[in-house]
Amino acid sequence: MNINRYPSFGILLVDDEPSFLRSLSIALERGAGFNHIYRCEDSREAMSIIEKEPIGLVLLDLTMPHLSGENLLQQIVQEYPEVGVIIVSGLNQLETAVQCIRLGAYDYFVKTTEEDRLIKGIRRAVHMQEMRQENQEMRKRFLSDTLERPEVFANIITQNKGMRSVFQYLESVSNSSQPVLISGESGVGKEQITQAIHTLSNRSGELVSVNVAGLDDNVFADTLFGHHKGAFTGADRARSGMIEQAINGTLFLDEIGDLSLTSQVKLLRLLQEGEYYPLGSDRPKRMRSRVIVATHQNLEEKLKKGEFRKDLYYRLRIHQIEIPALRQRKDDIPLLLEYFLAEAAAEMGKNKPTIPKELITLLANYTFPGNVRELKALAYDAMSQHQSKVLSMEIFRRVIDPNKQTIIGDTDNATLFKSDQPLPTLQEVGDLLIEEAMNRAKGNQSLASRLLGISQPALSKRLKKKLIEPL
């Protein structure tokens, strides 16, 4: 069975006591799920292990024969500055601890330290190393403007630069174990982004999806954690939860903005501790899956209203992705329309029609409140009624009524005119509207007149009048 190694980099334990190496290895796997571990009993071999293996963190004893931990620390800092070092020593001396920190150690713990405190300290170091590696990956990808695995995004139809930046970010954080928060309006493709993250992570387990909207607290806990037989009335047999089904894989929680405050506490505890209790059990299980959450809601607004916990929000947004709405990536509209029409034609056994140029201009001036999902529905509807070689625009015109569209954006605090400036005349405003409509319609008077809500002859008359007016 293929088991994912966590973290993505190795943790090297260096100590001359085999029994301590064994006990620390067990504690790391049991307490934090760390299973990417290397052991070294001879400090003289540590540097060769770092050279050959993908070591990102070293847990180092100080008092060892042959090569002391302090000397080894200096070598690691000098030759491998990107590798973090934590001192785990039997020496409980403040002066020694301060000296090690000055030499470049990330932290210092005494072997008699409580196990929970030691594990939390190592978790912090692992997280810092993950963030450092992700920053390096992001810098490399954005500077070179490249994708290492473009095939992963083949099913996401786009040529938009904003979406390409999203893909580069996803590649940068793919090896992280931290949660990912995907936000964006309904219909932008959050499920496809989730699938891409799961594929990029190379996890051996499955992608398990749960829509948490409408789940009450008990159902939420049972869905995620599962239960033992007899845990509650009707529990006549044990059932594994979604977390267990997603072992070594990815757990996707959709519509996280609808989660109740009580369930938010349970999710926060799961993310912080990495452990959960199936209903009716007093023995914890360790979560071995990555968590991805998605929402179409504005979580910051829900924070202000007290409907979403701050601690959970900041825990989830360690990696955050905002998927742009379709109206923000209008250059994708022709590609998507071609794709959906071809897909619909194949399903219906029809020939794909020619797309009128005017249709692309019409769609570019539509706000698409339903985003990509709405465009797909329009394309399928048009294809189902299509009969000639050229695609009819009537289906689209019936839905896309420029006079009924709402302005998207924050208009509460916005104003069209500055209070300290004189108002333009009606003639000036009318001329500006006509000019903008003609620009959006790319010179098509028929479409421009529809955008303005006037007849084409009326628009033509205004344009002619503007041309003959004296300067």
Q: Do domains 10-136 and 150-324 have the same CATH topology?
A: yes
Per-residue pLDDT at 424: 78
* Tokens encoding 440: 């959006």
In CATH, the architecture of 10-136 is: 3-Layer(aba) Sandwich (3.40)
In CATH, the architecture of 327-404 is: Orthogonal Bundle (1.10)
Per-residue pLDDT at 407: 46
Provide the 10 A C-beta neighbour count for residue 448. Answer: 27
Please state, in angstroms and rounded to a whole number, the distance separating the CA atoms of residues 102 and 178.
30
Per-residue pLDDT at 410: 45
Provide the 10 A C-beta neighbour count for residue 139. Answer: 11
Per-residue pLDDT of the chain (471 residues; tens, 9 = 90+): 445 788 889 999 999 999 999 999 999 998 888 999 999 999 999 999 999 999 999 999 999 998 999 999 999 999 999 999 999 998 888 888 899 999 999 999 998 888 889 999 999 999 899 888 888 888 887 777 888 899 999 999 999 999 999 999 999 998 888 999 999 999 999 999 999 999 999 998 999 999 999 899 999 999 999 998 888 888 888 889 999 999 999 999 999 999 999 999 999 999 988 899 999 988 889 898 999 999 999 999 999 999 999 999 999 999 999 999 999 999 999 999 999 999 999 999 999 999 998 899 889 888 999 999 999 999 999 999 888 888 988 888 888 765 555 444 444 444 566 666 677 777 777 888 888 888 877 777 777 777 777 887 788 888 777 776 654
Per-residue pLDDT at 408: 46
Domain boundaries of the chain, sorted by first residue: 10-136, 150-324, 327-404, 426-468
Please state, in angstroms and rounded to a whole number, the distance separating the CA atoms of residues 467 and 460.
11
Per-residue pLDDT at 465: 76
Query: Residue 222: which of 291, 287, 277, 269 has the closest Cα?
Result: 277
Please state, in angstroms and rounded to a whole number, the distance separating the CA atoms of residues 12 and 85.
9
Per-residue pLDDT at 87: 95
Q: What is the dihedral of CA 171, 174, 176, 179, to 10 degrees?
A: 110
Q: Which fold has domain 150-324?
A: Rossmann fold (3.40.50)
pTM above 0.85, yes or no: no
Per-residue pLDDT at 412: 45
Give the β-pairing of 285-286 and 107-110.
unpaired
In CATH, the architecture of 426-468 is: Orthogonal Bundle (1.10)
* Tokens encoding 218: 């008990």
Per-residue pLDDT at 437: 80
Per-residue pLDDT at 409: 46
| CB 53 within 8 Å of CB 38 | yes
Task: List Cβ neighbours of 301 (8 Å cut-off, separation of 6 or more).
Answer: none
DSSP summary character for residue 390: B
Per-residue pLDDT at 1: 41
SS3 of residue 407 by DSSP: coil
Please state, in angstroms and rounded to a whole number, the distance separating the CA atoms of residues 160 and 422.
40
